[in-house]
Amino acid sequence: MERTFIAIKPDGVQRQIIGEIIRRFESKGFTLVGLKIMQVSRELAEQHYAVHKERPFFPGLVNFIISAPLVAMVWEGEGVIASARKLIGATNPLTAEPGTIRGDFGVSVGRNLIHGSDAPETAAEEIKLWFKDEELVSWQPASTPWLYE
């Protein structure tokens, strides 16, 4: 089973759509294996977005990520990495399709509510960056036989 790192950014927390976002992942059939609300340090935010450190939006992005609490999660399921990106929608909420999280709840790229790992390598790196092994739970929901043949 694949795992991916998902974060509800400070705007999603402040707009009180944590439950709505978790509901979408649960309803789809993915399994929550890690969850915490946290005040992110500047160091962690910079590490997480290190790939963007030369971009003009980087300082604003880091300040935004540490501006208020964030919800860090790990979700599990077959194909969850790519599927989560589809549930999340395009980076710019204005062009994200309706039905996606960004398409339904956002209007600007700097406040796009949610992060999801973009590939197996980044998912593994991000899970390791944000969670200790003992913070992740391996379990099988009772619905599993009704989701997979």
Per the annotation, where are the binding residues?
9, 57, 85, 91, 102, 112
Q: Which is nearer to ligand DAT, 42 or 144 (CB)?
A: 42
Give the shortest CB-113-to-Mg ion separation in angstroms: 13
Residues 67 to 126 in contact with ligand DAT, rule: CB under 6 A? 91, 109-110, 112, 115, 118
Please choose, from the candidates 138, 89, 136, the residue with its C-alpha nearest in 3D space to the C-alpha of residue 114: 89
**Of 115, 123, 130, 131, which residue is the catalytic one?**
115
Looking at the DSSP assignment, which residues form a beta bridge with residue 71? 8, 37
Token digits for 103? 């398409």
Amino acid (1-letter code) at residue 113: L
CB 37 within 8 A of CB 148: no
Q: Which amino acids are annotated catalytic?
A: 115
In the complex, which residues of this chain contact ligand DAT (CB under 6 A)? Answer: 52, 57, 61, 91, 109-110, 112, 115, 118
